[in-house]
């Protein structure tokens, strides 16, 4: 018997012909009848609806919660306004990334979204590292992501006030009489929203959204190819507990106030390692890779410069928007410059690749 957990929308997916696969301990839709490429292109052109309810939703409350969270995360949370959202990294003592999170400062707490495969470990780390705060699951909640250039018009037809949200901001909204937490964010490189909704109303909301001809349900397959085109990391592939933020080209996620010389520099696990790499550079860097030919270059493919192995692919696939294969991975810092030509070893054959800037597809966010 299968031991995978189900989201509140599992039956909804099955009824719509979804192909279900195991992912991070859950039975999740990887695609629907249109297939990954069509779902990918539909999201880029219109609006795709994703079920991301397997991710964990956590609430952190305390008298000085922002300062407390900064003991674990190398980001500026004290400077966040109410309703403002920030990408953050949960660090370990070796300077590695135990998970990447999304946090929003709300009037009474911080709302935190954590990755599905890490959520129980993250919850334990937050509780252990924040003894002066109350850390709790936001129980019985689903999370829907409505992504694409037409997402704003679709959701505004239900609640016009969502137009006023800008990228990386959230607030409380009533949709169909349902109290929801809505943020203007996502992980596809497109404009859109993430909607936290009570489990027992998730299917009602999903049905209403998909009645709009601009919306189609989209599975995790297209979500992965969309985020790859946008140059966004997948935890467990492109970043993990052995990867530092500087190696991962995520220095932008560490605001200047938390860097060496900043007003609140350091003070989080691994700060010495990260600070040293900010000052002196990291031994390897995450880079984008353009592929010569049509065959995808997948994760774990080794990269060479001449006879020397200089890196490895961490994510690779077909970029449907570009109609070409793309990849990202890590290479030695000395060979990480844009324009560097390398060779990928694919099933015993040499495939020419070139280091390129990311994102592969320009992000379209409402700032």
Alpha helices in the chain (DSSP H): 10-15, 36-45, 65-69, 119-129, 151-156, 199-211, 220-229, 271-280
> Is 194 assigned a ligand-binding role in the annotation?
yes
Q: State whether residue 229 is helix, strand or coil.
A: helix
Distance CA 6, CA 203 (A): 14
Q: State whether residue 161 is helix, strand or coil.
A: helix
Per the rule left: phi > 0, alpha: psi between -120 and 50, beta: everything else, 330 is beta
Q: How many residues does the chain have?
A: 367
Strands 47-51 and 215-217, how do they pair?
parallel
What token pair was written down for 6?
């189900």
Distance CA 97, CA 242 (A): 7
- Which sign does the torsion angle of CA 196, 201, 207, 213 carry? negative
148, 43 Cβ separation under 8 angstroms: yes
What token pair was written down for 98?
């135990």
Going by C-alpha positions, the residue among 180, 3, 184, 154 that lies closest to residue 83 is 184
Q: How many CA atoms lie within 13 A of 148 on its CB side?
A: 25
Binding residue numbers = 194
Binding residue numbers for substrate = 194
């Amino acid at each position: 018997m299968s031991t995978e957990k189900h989201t509140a929308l599992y039956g909804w997916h099955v009824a719509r012909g979804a192909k279900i696969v195991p992912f991070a301990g859950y039975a999740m839709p990887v695609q629907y009848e249109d297939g990954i490429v069509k779902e990918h292109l539909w999201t880029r052109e219109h609006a795709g609806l994703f079920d991301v309810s397997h991710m964990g939703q956590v609430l952190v409350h305390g008298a000085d919660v922002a300062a407390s969270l900064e003991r674990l995360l190398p980001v500026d949370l004290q400077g966040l306004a109410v309703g403002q959202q920030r990408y953050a990294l949960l660090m370990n003592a070796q300077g590695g990334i135990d998970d990447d999170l999304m946090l929003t400062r709300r009037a009474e707490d911080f709302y935190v979204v954590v990755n599905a495969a890490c959520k129980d470990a993250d919850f334990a780390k937050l509780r252990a590292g924040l003894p002066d705060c109350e850390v709790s699951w936001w129980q019985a909640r689903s999370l829907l992501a409505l992504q694409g250039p037409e997402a704003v018009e679709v959701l505004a037809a239900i609640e016009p006030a969502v137009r006023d949200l800008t990228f990386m901001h959230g607030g409380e909204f009533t949709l169909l009489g349902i109290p929801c937490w809505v943020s203007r964010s996502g992980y596809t490189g497109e404009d859109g929203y993430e909607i936290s909704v009570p489990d027992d109303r998730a299917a009602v909301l999903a049905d209403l959204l998909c009645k709009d001809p601009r919306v189609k349900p989209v599975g995790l397959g297209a979500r992965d190819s969309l985020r790859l085109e946008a140059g966004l990391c997948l935890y467990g592939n492109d970043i993990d507990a052995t990867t530092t933020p500087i190696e991962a080209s995520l220095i932008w996620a560490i605001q200047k106030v938390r860097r060496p010389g900043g007003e609140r520099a350091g003070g989080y696990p691994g700060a010495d390692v990260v600070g040293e790499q900010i000052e002196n550079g990291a031994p390897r860097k995450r880079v984008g890779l353009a592929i010569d030919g049509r065959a995808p270059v997948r994760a774990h493919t080794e990269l060479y410069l001449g006879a020397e192995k200089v890196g490895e692919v961490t994510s690779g696939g077909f970029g449907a928007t570009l109609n070409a294969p793309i990849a990202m991975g890590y290479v030695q810092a000395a060979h990480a410059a844009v324009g560097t030509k390398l060779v990928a070893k694919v099933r015993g054959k040499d495939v020419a690749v070139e280091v390129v800037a990311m994102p592969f597809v320009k992000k379209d966010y409402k700032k």
